[in-house]
Amino acid sequence: MRWLHVVLLIPAAVSATLNLKQYKPSFSQQQFPSPEEDSLHHVVSKRQREPKFLTNQTRKFVVNGAALPEVDFDVGESYAGLLNIDKNNDTAGKLYFWFFPSERKVADKEILIWLTGGPGCSSTGELLSLNGPMIWQPGMYKPVKNKWSWHRITNVVWIDQPIGTGFSQGTPEAQDEFDVARQFLSFWRNFVDTFAMQGYQVYVTGSSYSGMYCPYIASAMLDSNNKDYFNVAGMQVFDGVYSVDSVAEEIPVASYVDRWQNVFAFNDSFRQTVKNVSQKCGYDDYMRKYLVYPPTELQPGMPPGVDEDGNVTPACDVWSMVQAAAAEITPCFSVYTVTNLCPIKYDPLGFSDGSMYRAKGSGPVYFNREDVKRAINAPLDKEWVFCTETPVFTNRTDKSIKEGPGSQPVLPNVIDRTHNVILAHGTKDFILVDDGTLLTIQNLTWGGQMGFQTKPTAPLYVPYHNNNNPETLAGAGVMGTVHSERGLTYLAVSTAGHFLAMDAPSVAFRSVEVLVGRRDGFDSRPFTFEGNATAAMPSGELGNGTVVMFPQSADSRCGRLSGAEPIRSDGTSRWAMNDQSVFALALATTLAVVLDLQSFGV
């Protein structure tokens, strides 16, 4: 009788999955374009290309895109080099930049700034590893064309700042973020004059410690009321630092470990130790009290678990306890992406997830090669490191975060004046936990209200797309959770760690499309480079986002079956299964029960 079970259940199973198939492209839609078609596209683009920013003033910064060492293709028009912070003072320091104009006509009057965090980590490094025209990521044999380069959307400049970072030159003198912003605005005025960008819309973006840099810089630009130089139209930060370490690390750790219990495969006694420390230090109570929607009150200036100087006490340093224990179980455990495993990958930039691992015989780091430095107008006498150990703040301290509340005082100003701020976070990030960003958001007041009024639940959808290069493959479909209120958008990306644009390049690309106005939101329309393609158009409901928020995220049973109510892609509540699916599943269940009873002679 078992064969009859299978035969009778097939129609019901097929019917029950109809509403799932509508979100996936057909096999024919997934076919990659031929290499010949892709090559033709680049040939046509090259024929149409004329230098957009070549003048007598910019000529000294020209980079020959066809002559970059190890790069066997033309990366196109770009400009790089050192530029004075103070236009009339050579001794005030210089910042290094690498600027890639976009070929898209719609980008003619806008410029996007990318700032890497650290503090003291190089934006030039992330141009090559994250979001630039060519990428050479850990484990790659050589650089490849980056399908997800942000310059395919708009003009982009990567800047090594503040002084002491990357190729930039000078003596670090910044004491806080106000100093960093003043330094940057002076440099930016010089950059705008050099490339004749007066009146351009400016988008300030970055990652990690740029959660400090970007809000202060964007806020200072807006406060200048000078749209010729500082016409800020939006801001975006990935996996950012916005306040003291305990909020982004210590307080959410126990919840994070529960959520990733299959990754943090601790024994029962250590798992209980983590819970006990979190409870004793007040972290659990803090999460339950302040990570609610809408928030009920401001968070205290002094978070739990710290001493009178604001430093986390050893007894409450649960983050370090977890990191050390995880490294014993998984020797190559990465706080940047918790699902990484051994071996450590060769990194041409010498970073290797912070391990600085260099394989024997691998030669110098790419940006320390003399031929590379000459090709990109970098100083020959400067040793480049991805993240410097030399402090970029005097006394090794950023007073804005040591003595103040981080970037929280200036974030609302940027949101209210641009109505266009995106804060995104990869859920695999342990160096900065995603719930720390949500705690920050729930402590902000903008648009006349405090925090998000409702819990993020909507699906973060990324269009299906064509790609003929296996080295730049990227995900599609529902890849996390998205939520927007009053000009602030939050993205929780389920497939990404700390380096979001590396781990989920398609999400990062769509986020930039939204930031600069190419797309109205995270909807189903194709990427801008897909033209009028329709393969990315789903029909029906997308259900919930795939990242469930606290406190449900701390429940090992979390998900759709634990009471998380599905929503439509337009944000209104509704069951994800349609009537046809419900009937089909009911029929399948009934048939199975009847046949099982018959098999037992009932």
Residues recognised as catalytic: 208, 429, 498
List, as one string, the DSSP characters of 405-453.
-TTTTTHHHHHHHHS-EEEEEETT-SSS-HHHHHHHHTT-EETTEES-S
Q: Identify any residues that bridge with 446 across adjacent strands, giving them in sequence order.
A: 449
Peptide bond into 551 cis (omega under 30): yes
Contacts of 47 (CB under 8 A, 6+ apart): none
Q: 557: how many CB neighbours lie within 10 A of its CB?
A: 8
Burial class (CB in 10 A: 0-12, 13-18, 19+), 413: middle
CB 311 within 8 A of CB 318: no
Please choose, from the candidates 265, 283, 93, the residue with its C-alpha nearest in 3D space to the C-alpha of residue 182. 93
Length, in residues, of the chain = 602
3-state helix/strand/coil string of 495-541: CCCCCHHHHCHHHHHHHHHHHCCCCCCCCCCCCHHHCCCCCCCCCCC
Q: State whether residue 115 is helix, strand or coil.
A: strand
- Virtual torsion, Cα 311, 315, 319, 324, nearest 10 deg: 120
DSSP state of 571: S
Whether residue 119 is preceded by a cis peptide bond, meaning omega within 30 degrees of 0, is: yes
Q: What does the alpha-carbon distance between residue 584 and residue 594 come to, in Å, rounded to a whole number? A: 15
Taking alpha carbons only, the member of 273, 302, 303 closest to residue 285 is 303
Q: Which is nearest to 22 in space by CA: 577, 548, 583?
A: 577
Reference 316, options 304, 301, 328; nearest CA is 304
The alpha-helical segments, DSSP class H, found in 294-410 are 318-329, 370-375, 399-402
